[in-house]
Structure 1
Amino acid sequence: MEKVENKTLLNKYINETGILNIFSHDMRANIELFSFNKGEYLINEGESSNYLFFLVSGKVKVFSHSSSGKVMFVSHFHSFEVLGETCSLWEKPPTASVKAISKVYCIGISMINHRETLFNDLSFLRYTCLSLAERLSSMTSSTCITLFDSLESRLASFILKNAKEDIFYYNLTECAELLCTSYRHLLRVINSFCSTGRLEKNGKYYKIIDKKYLSEIASNISDI
């Protein structure tokens, strides 16, 4: 994590996200800009953060670990989003980690200096409640899809959402984690798509050959 001393860039993100509108009072003097490199943790499972972060640029994944140590994907964020608000506000150890999967910029508010201010800000608390409710609804829907839809359907959706000009290039280990499956199972399904003419492998990427078929079987996964 690195504090970014660039007022022009900070003002750019303030204007793009409208972050000041979620507070009752002008918080401009109380917010800071931070950057995280790919692979860095914004929040560590079990470790309380001294900052409340708002994702303003880049992409992060949220995941936790089961009692057996298995990684369990929770969600993906790639737009303006408040992160770890419950744990940061109430000083609770996070039950999940947030990791940057690209270069990330966050606006941060010091909990040491401004926790009481936020606790007494009705507009901010309303925003937080709405954000939590929407997130819970999305996670419930995604969990049902994971439980009841086949990997073929979920992978088809993932490929269509992440392909550019019908080219799918993605770290398959990461893809397996996001789809809550094993790397071996994922590879079997991808190879099946290739052998039946749905995809074509070219080096390290895959070209979509039968987009109609993938669209027909795709799950409705909104947050990946």
Structure 2
Amino acid sequence: MKKISNKDLLNHYINKHSLENIFDKDVLRYAQLHFYEKNEYILKSEFDLEYYYLIVNGKVKISYLLENGKSMLLKFYKEFNSLGDIELLKNIPIRCNVEAIEDTHLIAMPSDVLRKISLDNPKFLRHLIDSLSEKLYATLNNSSYNLTYPLINRLSSYLVELITDKNYVILNSSLNEISQFLGTTYRHLNRTFKELESRSIIKYENKIIHILDKDRLHELSKNLYIKSL
């Protein structure tokens, strides 16, 4: 993690996302701009929440740590999403691992400052309610999608979420993790990868998914996962 000492860039993101509608001026003076490189952990499960984060550029992956030491992929967040809502409100250790899957900038607000100053501020509380309700809606939507649509649509949506400006995707999660996230089995997931290959939509080799036909992949995905997947 790098702290970016660039007030102009910090103010750009503050103005872009109208943070004055969330935080009072006496709180915004504590705002910092943090940068995380791709594959770098932003939050780690069981640690205390040092900063409440607002994603202003980039993309992150959220994984839940299970009791057996394994992790389950839950969702992806892009801008403008927040990290640490429940931990901030409940003052509990971090519940999920958060990893940058592309270079990511975040506005960082010290959690101790927010607990002292902002938890009785109607503007900030309204922001928390909106954030948590959107995440709940996303979870319900994606759960129902996993129950309703064929795996080829769900897998296509998953791959579309990982596409950046390149014509390939590197799978950082194991196939077991991906199958859990998509609500299927390892074998069914493998068969569906092969089906996409047989249609000349992708080519799968050594955890690298080469996107051969991005338009057809988008068509199969149907954009059914909402943005805060």
TM bin, normalised by shorter chain, reads 0.7 to 0.9
Q: Distance in 2 between matches of 1:185 and 1:75?
A: 21
1:189 aligns with 2:188: no
* AA aligned opposite 2:211: Y
* AA aligned opposite 2:39: G
CA contact (8 A) 1:49 1:88 kept: yes
**What is the correspondence of 1:1-224 to structure 2 with a 5 Å cutoff?**
1-160=1-160, 169-174=168-173, 176=175, 177-178=177-178, 180=181, 185-195=188-198, 197-199=199-201, 201=203, 205-208=210-213, 211=216, 215=219, 218=222, 220-223=224-227, 224=229
Distance change >3 Å, CA 4–CA 159, structure 1 → 2: closer
Q: Distance in 2 between matches of 1:163 and 1:37?
A: 17
CA contact (8 A) 1:62 1:98 kept: yes
Q: Distance in 2 between matches of 1:216 and 1:3?
A: 40
Unmatched tracts of structure 2, length 5 or more: none
Q: Distance in 2 between matches of 1:3 and 1:173?
A: 25
SS in 2 for 1:86: helix
Number of corresponding residues: 221
* AA aligned opposite 1:11: N
Normalized against structure 1, the TM-score is what? 0.83
Q: Distance in 1 between matches of 2:118 and 2:221?
A: 45
CA deviations on 1:59-103 (whole Å, 9 max, x unpaired) are 101110223333212211111111112202432012211111111
Distance change >3 Å, CA 175–CA 59, structure 1 → 2: farther
Normalized against structure 2, the TM-score is what? 0.81
- The alignment yields a C-alpha RMSD, in angstroms, of 2.9
> After the TM superposition, which of the residue ranges 28-37 and 213-222 deviates more from structure 2?
213-222
Unmatched tracts of structure 1, length 5 or more: none
